[in-house]
A and B are shown apart, each in its own frame.
Chain A
Amino acid sequence: MTSDEAREHFSAAAEMMLDPAQQEAFEHALAHDAQLRDEYETFRRIVHGAHKLSPSTTPDVLHSVQNKLHQRSGGRYYRDRFARLPSGWTLWIVTALIVGLVLAFVVLRWLPATDM
Protein backbone atom coordinates (compact mmCIF):
# COMPACT_ATOMS: atom_id res chain seq x y z
CA MET A 1 0.00 0.00 0.00
CA THR A 2 1.43 3.38 -1.00
CA SER A 3 1.19 6.39 1.31
CA ASP A 4 -1.53 7.93 -0.88
CA GLU A 5 -3.53 4.71 -0.78
CA ALA A 6 -3.08 4.61 2.98
CA ARG A 7 -4.51 8.16 3.24
CA GLU A 8 -7.66 6.94 1.50
CA HIS A 9 -8.01 4.37 4.29
CA PHE A 10 -7.67 6.85 7.18
CA SER A 11 -11.39 6.81 7.96
CA ALA A 12 -11.72 3.03 7.84
CA ALA A 13 -8.57 2.62 9.94
CA ALA A 14 -9.69 5.16 12.56
CA GLU A 15 -12.97 3.25 12.87
CA MET A 16 -11.22 -0.15 12.95
CA MET A 17 -13.07 -1.22 9.82
CA LEU A 18 -10.15 -2.48 7.75
CA ASP A 19 -9.98 -6.20 7.10
CA PRO A 20 -6.88 -7.96 8.49
CA ALA A 21 -4.95 -7.85 5.20
CA GLN A 22 -5.69 -4.15 4.68
CA GLN A 23 -4.84 -3.41 8.31
CA GLU A 24 -1.47 -5.09 7.94
CA ALA A 25 -0.69 -3.21 4.72
CA PHE A 26 -1.84 0.04 6.34
CA GLU A 27 0.40 -0.47 9.38
CA HIS A 28 3.28 -1.33 7.08
CA ALA A 29 2.78 1.96 5.21
CA LEU A 30 2.67 3.89 8.50
CA ALA A 31 5.83 2.21 9.73
CA HIS A 32 7.76 3.40 6.68
CA ASP A 33 6.54 6.99 6.46
CA ALA A 34 6.88 9.28 9.48
CA GLN A 35 4.84 12.09 7.88
CA LEU A 36 2.04 9.68 7.07
CA ARG A 37 2.14 8.46 10.67
CA ASP A 38 1.76 12.04 11.97
CA GLU A 39 -1.06 12.74 9.52
CA TYR A 40 -2.91 9.63 10.60
CA GLU A 41 -2.47 10.43 14.30
CA THR A 42 -3.83 13.94 13.69
CA PHE A 43 -6.74 12.52 11.72
CA ARG A 44 -7.53 9.95 14.41
CA ARG A 45 -7.40 12.48 17.24
CA ILE A 46 -9.67 14.93 15.47
CA VAL A 47 -12.23 12.29 14.50
CA HIS A 48 -12.33 10.90 18.03
CA GLY A 49 -12.27 14.41 19.53
CA ALA A 50 -15.54 15.23 17.79
CA HIS A 51 -17.35 12.97 20.29
CA LYS A 52 -16.64 15.59 22.96
CA LEU A 53 -18.61 18.27 21.17
CA SER A 54 -21.86 17.59 22.98
CA PRO A 55 -23.19 20.56 24.96
CA SER A 56 -23.15 20.17 28.74
CA THR A 57 -26.65 21.57 29.21
CA THR A 58 -29.76 21.24 27.11
CA PRO A 59 -32.91 23.33 27.52
CA ASP A 60 -36.25 21.81 28.51
CA VAL A 61 -38.53 22.62 25.56
CA LEU A 62 -41.62 20.71 26.69
CA HIS A 63 -43.52 23.75 27.96
CA SER A 64 -42.88 25.72 24.75
CA VAL A 65 -43.85 22.75 22.57
CA GLN A 66 -47.07 22.26 24.52
CA ASN A 67 -47.94 25.95 24.13
CA LYS A 68 -47.24 25.86 20.40
CA LEU A 69 -49.42 22.77 19.96
CA HIS A 70 -52.18 24.36 22.04
CA GLN A 71 -52.12 27.54 19.95
CA ARG A 72 -51.72 25.91 16.54
CA SER A 73 -54.47 23.36 17.18
CA GLY A 74 -56.87 26.15 18.12
CA GLY A 75 -56.94 24.93 21.72
CA ARG A 76 -57.75 21.31 20.84
CA TYR A 77 -54.63 19.87 22.47
CA TYR A 78 -53.10 20.66 25.84
CA ARG A 79 -56.27 22.38 27.08
CA ASP A 80 -55.32 21.82 30.72
CA ARG A 81 -53.07 24.78 31.54
CA PHE A 82 -52.01 23.19 34.83
CA ALA A 83 -50.60 20.19 32.99
CA ARG A 84 -48.67 22.54 30.70
CA LEU A 85 -46.79 24.21 33.50
CA PRO A 86 -43.09 23.41 33.62
CA SER A 87 -42.29 20.70 36.16
CA GLY A 88 -40.59 23.14 38.59
CA TRP A 89 -43.66 25.38 38.73
CA THR A 90 -45.96 22.42 39.24
CA LEU A 91 -43.99 21.42 42.31
CA TRP A 92 -44.09 24.95 43.75
CA ILE A 93 -47.82 25.30 43.21
CA VAL A 94 -48.63 21.91 44.72
CA THR A 95 -46.41 22.67 47.73
CA ALA A 96 -48.01 26.10 48.19
CA LEU A 97 -51.51 24.56 48.03
CA ILE A 98 -50.65 21.93 50.65
CA VAL A 99 -49.07 24.50 52.99
CA GLY A 100 -52.10 26.78 52.52
CA LEU A 101 -54.52 23.96 53.36
CA VAL A 102 -52.55 22.99 56.48
CA LEU A 103 -52.43 26.62 57.65
CA ALA A 104 -56.17 27.05 57.01
CA PHE A 105 -56.90 23.87 58.97
CA VAL A 106 -54.74 25.01 61.91
CA VAL A 107 -56.24 28.50 61.99
CA LEU A 108 -59.83 27.23 61.78
CA ARG A 109 -59.21 24.68 64.50
CA TRP A 110 -57.57 27.13 66.94
CA LEU A 111 -59.76 30.22 66.44
CA PRO A 112 -62.91 28.82 68.23
CA ALA A 113 -60.72 27.57 71.11
CA THR A 114 -59.30 31.06 71.78
CA ASP A 115 -62.87 32.57 71.75
CA MET A 116 -63.86 30.33 74.66
Chain B
Amino acid sequence: MDEPTLLRKLQARDEAAFNRLVREHQAQVFRLSLRMLGDSAEAEEITQEVFVTVFKSIDRFRGDSKLSTWLYRIAINHCRNRIKYLNRRARGATQEFDDFSDRETSASGTNSRLPRPDELAEGHELESRLRVAMARLPGDQRELLVLRDVEGLSYDDIQSITRLAAGTVKSRLHRARLALIAAIASENERE
Protein backbone atom coordinates (compact mmCIF):
# COMPACT_ATOMS: atom_id res chain seq x y z
CA MET B 1 0.00 0.00 0.00
CA ASP B 2 1.49 3.38 -0.96
CA GLU B 3 1.66 6.20 1.58
CA PRO B 4 -1.17 8.40 0.17
CA THR B 5 -3.53 5.38 0.17
CA LEU B 6 -2.50 4.43 3.70
CA LEU B 7 -2.97 8.04 4.81
CA ARG B 8 -6.48 8.21 3.30
CA LYS B 9 -7.42 5.02 5.15
CA LEU B 10 -5.91 6.27 8.39
CA GLN B 11 -7.85 9.53 8.10
CA ALA B 12 -11.01 7.47 7.60
CA ARG B 13 -10.09 5.71 10.89
CA ASP B 14 -9.68 2.37 9.11
CA GLU B 15 -8.65 0.02 11.93
CA ALA B 16 -6.88 -2.48 9.66
CA ALA B 17 -4.77 0.31 8.15
CA PHE B 18 -3.94 1.57 11.63
CA ASN B 19 -2.94 -1.94 12.76
CA ARG B 20 -0.60 -2.06 9.81
CA LEU B 21 0.92 1.32 10.69
CA VAL B 22 1.57 0.16 14.25
CA ARG B 23 3.13 -3.11 13.14
CA GLU B 24 5.39 -1.39 10.61
CA HIS B 25 6.59 1.48 12.81
CA GLN B 26 6.44 0.30 16.42
CA ALA B 27 10.06 -0.86 16.40
CA GLN B 28 11.42 2.52 15.26
CA VAL B 29 9.30 4.40 17.81
CA PHE B 30 10.31 2.02 20.60
CA ARG B 31 14.04 2.27 19.71
CA LEU B 32 13.92 6.06 19.73
CA SER B 33 11.99 6.16 23.03
CA LEU B 34 14.31 3.65 24.65
CA ARG B 35 17.42 5.63 23.71
CA MET B 36 15.80 8.88 24.84
CA LEU B 37 14.45 7.56 28.15
CA GLY B 38 16.87 4.75 28.93
CA ASP B 39 14.15 2.52 30.37
CA SER B 40 12.29 -0.14 28.41
CA ALA B 41 9.05 0.04 30.45
CA GLU B 42 8.90 3.82 29.96
CA ALA B 43 9.75 3.39 26.27
CA GLU B 44 6.96 0.85 25.79
CA GLU B 45 4.44 3.15 27.46
CA ILE B 46 5.56 6.10 25.33
CA THR B 47 5.38 3.95 22.17
CA GLN B 48 1.74 3.15 22.95
CA GLU B 49 0.94 6.81 23.60
CA VAL B 50 2.60 7.85 20.33
CA PHE B 51 0.25 5.62 18.34
CA VAL B 52 -2.79 6.76 20.32
CA THR B 53 -1.79 10.35 19.45
CA VAL B 54 -1.34 9.39 15.80
CA PHE B 55 -4.82 7.83 15.68
CA LYS B 56 -6.37 10.90 17.29
CA SER B 57 -4.52 13.54 15.30
CA ILE B 58 -3.97 11.95 11.89
CA ASP B 59 -6.26 14.61 10.36
CA ARG B 60 -3.65 17.22 11.25
CA PHE B 61 -0.94 15.47 9.22
CA ARG B 62 -0.65 17.55 6.05
CA GLY B 63 1.66 15.19 4.18
CA ASP B 64 4.47 17.75 3.85
CA SER B 65 6.89 15.18 5.28
CA LYS B 66 7.11 11.41 5.31
CA LEU B 67 4.70 9.67 7.68
CA SER B 68 7.67 8.11 9.48
CA THR B 69 9.18 11.57 10.05
CA TRP B 70 5.90 12.79 11.52
CA LEU B 71 5.87 9.73 13.79
CA TYR B 72 9.39 10.55 14.96
CA ARG B 73 8.30 14.12 15.70
CA ILE B 74 5.39 12.93 17.82
CA ALA B 75 7.67 10.43 19.58
CA ILE B 76 10.27 13.12 20.30
CA ASN B 77 7.59 15.41 21.75
CA HIS B 78 6.27 12.64 23.97
CA CYS B 79 9.82 11.83 25.12
CA ARG B 80 10.57 15.51 25.85
CA ASN B 81 7.42 15.77 27.94
CA ARG B 82 8.21 12.55 29.76
CA ILE B 83 11.79 13.67 30.46
CA LYS B 84 10.48 17.00 31.81
CA TYR B 85 8.08 15.10 34.05
CA LEU B 86 10.77 12.72 35.27
CA ASN B 87 13.16 15.63 35.82
CA ARG B 88 10.60 17.49 37.88
CA ARG B 89 10.16 14.36 39.97
CA ALA B 90 13.89 14.10 40.61
CA ARG B 91 15.15 17.66 40.27
CA GLY B 92 18.27 17.06 42.33
CA ALA B 93 19.55 14.39 39.98
CA THR B 94 18.74 16.54 36.95
CA GLN B 95 20.75 19.43 38.31
CA GLU B 96 23.67 17.05 38.69
CA PHE B 97 23.30 16.03 35.01
CA ASP B 98 23.06 19.66 33.85
CA ASP B 99 26.20 20.58 35.76
CA PHE B 100 27.96 17.58 34.30
CA SER B 101 26.90 18.51 30.80
CA ASP B 102 28.10 22.14 31.07
CA ARG B 103 31.40 21.07 32.57
CA GLU B 104 32.04 18.29 30.08
CA THR B 105 31.00 20.20 26.99
CA SER B 106 33.27 23.10 27.83
CA ALA B 107 36.08 20.70 28.72
CA SER B 108 35.74 18.82 25.48
CA GLY B 109 37.66 21.35 23.47
CA THR B 110 41.31 21.01 22.70
CA ASN B 111 42.77 19.83 25.97
CA SER B 112 40.33 17.27 27.32
CA ARG B 113 41.76 13.82 27.94
CA LEU B 114 39.99 11.67 25.36
CA PRO B 115 40.34 7.90 25.54
CA ARG B 116 42.90 6.60 23.06
CA PRO B 117 41.50 4.33 20.33
CA ASP B 118 43.14 1.30 21.95
CA GLU B 119 41.41 2.18 25.24
CA LEU B 120 38.05 1.83 23.58
CA ALA B 121 36.95 -1.75 23.67
CA GLU B 122 35.08 -3.17 20.72
CA GLY B 123 31.68 -4.80 20.69
CA HIS B 124 29.57 -5.11 23.81
CA GLU B 125 31.88 -3.11 26.06
CA LEU B 126 31.89 -0.07 23.77
CA GLU B 127 28.14 -0.45 23.46
CA SER B 128 27.60 -0.45 27.21
CA ARG B 129 29.94 2.55 27.65
CA LEU B 130 27.97 4.40 24.99
CA ARG B 131 24.67 3.58 26.71
CA VAL B 132 25.89 4.88 30.07
CA ALA B 133 27.47 8.00 28.57
CA MET B 134 24.44 8.81 26.44
CA ALA B 135 22.12 8.52 29.44
CA ARG B 136 24.21 11.19 31.19
CA LEU B 137 23.73 13.77 28.45
CA PRO B 138 20.95 16.37 28.57
CA GLY B 139 17.84 15.58 26.53
CA ASP B 140 18.47 17.97 23.63
CA GLN B 141 21.96 16.55 22.98
CA ARG B 142 20.77 12.95 23.38
CA GLU B 143 17.94 13.68 20.94
CA LEU B 144 20.28 14.67 18.11
CA LEU B 145 22.67 11.78 18.78
CA VAL B 146 19.81 9.28 18.71
CA LEU B 147 18.28 10.69 15.53
CA ARG B 148 21.54 10.93 13.61
CA ASP B 149 24.03 8.44 15.03
CA VAL B 150 21.74 5.69 16.35
CA GLU B 151 18.80 5.89 13.93
CA GLY B 152 20.86 7.15 11.00
CA LEU B 153 18.30 9.73 9.84
CA SER B 154 19.22 12.28 7.17
CA TYR B 155 19.88 15.89 8.15
CA ASP B 156 16.72 16.88 6.21
CA ASP B 157 14.62 14.51 8.31
CA ILE B 158 16.23 15.74 11.53
CA GLN B 159 15.51 19.35 10.57
CA SER B 160 11.92 18.42 9.89
CA ILE B 161 11.57 16.57 13.21
CA THR B 162 13.32 19.12 15.42
CA ARG B 163 12.39 22.23 13.39
CA LEU B 164 15.98 23.46 13.74
CA ALA B 165 18.00 25.06 10.93
CA ALA B 166 20.55 22.87 9.15
CA GLY B 167 23.55 24.74 10.58
CA THR B 168 22.11 24.55 14.08
CA VAL B 169 21.55 20.80 13.80
CA LYS B 170 25.15 20.27 12.65
CA SER B 171 26.79 22.47 15.25
CA ARG B 172 24.67 21.10 18.11
CA LEU B 173 25.28 17.55 16.96
CA HIS B 174 29.03 18.18 16.92
CA ARG B 175 28.86 19.54 20.47
CA ALA B 176 26.71 16.57 21.52
CA ARG B 177 29.29 14.14 20.11
CA LEU B 178 32.09 15.91 21.97
CA ALA B 179 30.02 15.79 25.16
CA LEU B 180 29.42 12.07 24.61
CA ILE B 181 33.13 11.41 24.19
CA ALA B 182 33.91 13.54 27.24
CA ALA B 183 31.37 11.52 29.24
CA ILE B 184 33.09 8.30 28.15
CA ALA B 185 36.48 9.80 29.05
CA SER B 186 35.11 10.74 32.45
CA GLU B 187 33.90 7.15 32.98
CA ASN B 188 37.36 5.88 31.96
CA GLU B 189 39.04 8.11 34.51
CA ARG B 190 36.75 6.85 37.26
CA GLU B 191 37.72 3.23 36.57
Contacts and interface: CB of A to CB of B under 8 A. Distances in A.
Chain B contact surface mostly: helix
A61 B150 contact: no
A9 to B, nearest CB: 9
Contacts of B114: 38-39, 42-43
Contacts of A64: 48
B5 interface: no
A18 interface: no
Contacts of B173: 11
Chain A contact surface mostly: helix
A60 B26 contact: yes
Contacts of A55: 30-31, 34, 40
Contacts of B40: 55, 59
Interface string A35-65: 0001101110111011111110011111011
Contact of A43 (B23, B150, B181): B181
Contacts, number: 107
Question: Most B CB atoms within 10 A — which of A51, A61, A69?
Answer: A61
A50 B183 CA distance: 14
Interface in B86-145: 109-110, 114-117, 120, 126-127, 130-131, 134, 145
B150 A65 contact: no
14 contacts: A4-B110, A42-B114, A43-B181, A46-B177, A49-B126, A53-B131, A53-B150, A55-B30, A61-B30, A62-B23, A66-B15, A66-B19, A68-B52, A69-B55
